[in-house]
Structure 1
């Protein structure tokens, strides 16, 4: 399946990409695009029923709380990103339940594990970001698909940029999950990501 076929063709999806493109660096934008593709393909291959538009919007906005314009001084970045997504959903005309679900998916991507039965989109995004940031479980995606995604959306030095973002989050918000990750050796896992050995 062509990669573009995994991207939903809706106004909200196009707007979410526009927001991510406007506020993220090229490396973080590509990270969002890869995270969506890892998540959507994993779900498709395993027959997991998920809301394609909701997943795409959450993937585009899941790290928006790291962008300087939306970086909160006190709130963990995933919660700040969820708040941005809530406002985005209101602008897109989504009802309160759909806005709430987008927040839940974005916050859940930082969890160590998300139950697919109760939150399929959160489950998929958590697995996808785990792969893209720290190289967790790469063999869950075929090698040819990994190479295709990395060729289409190169990593562009994501590891060091992402570590810089998390180190700053940890300095200002040490009790956040980002702070805990940094304290527990997150940098070593990120720098050892096998995706960086496939294609840069």
Structure 2
């Protein structure tokens, strides 16, 4: 189900160590939602790169890696670059992981331009706020949620974003909170 490369295994180990169970499951679900979406839309993507980015994309929301000055997606991107470099990736591949994580909180990126960023955007928007429900059939939802249950993810994630918004008012988390993000998170069909 997950890629079995050395970097993918290491990313899963990092995620297991530093995320709460709810955040870990969110990252695993984000990977799986993106893969399901890619298959349905015939999107070719780099599986290892997407998996590593999906598993590490919220690392900067955790206490050990939370930057008090840098928006979480930018700090998370820097951590992914560091991870990629430590994994022996060439600089351009490490930079791609950074870019994917930063872009997942920006305006939509078309799949034809950047498939991995597009997949992470679609997958996280679905898992966090219930966007594009028509893309994910009830059977697929049940299968993914059985493997990786929500475990109170919505409220935990909202608390993280509200904290980020207070401390970093110019970041993407603040923009999400200001644009009624709490209501979208609480209305997510995955929680109902």
Same fold judged by TM-score > 0.5? yes
Which of residues 114, 117, 129 is equivalent to 1:134?
A: 129
Q: Does 1:119 align with 2:120?
A: no
**What CA deviation, in whole Å up to 9, does each residue of 1:78-121 have, x standing for no partner?**
01001111110011100011011001100111123112111100
SS of aligned partner of 2:88: coil
Output the TM-score relative to the length of structure 1: 0.94
Give the gaps of 5 or more residues in structure 1.
none
Name the structure 2 match of 1:154: 149
Name the structure 1 match of 2:190: 195
Q: Does 1:57 align with 2:32?
A: no
Q: After the TM superposition, which segments of 4 or more aligned residues of structure 1 sit over 6 Å from their partners?
A: none
Give the gaps of 5 or more residues in structure 2.
none
Name the structure 1 match of 2:65: 70
SS of aligned partner of 1:50: coil
Q: Does 1:89 align with 2:118?
A: no
Q: How many residues align?
A: 192
Name the structure 1 match of 2:173: 178
SS of aligned partner of 2:10: helix
Q: Does 1:35 align with 2:30?
A: yes
Output the TM-score relative to the length of structure 2: 0.98
Name the structure 1 match of 2:99: 104
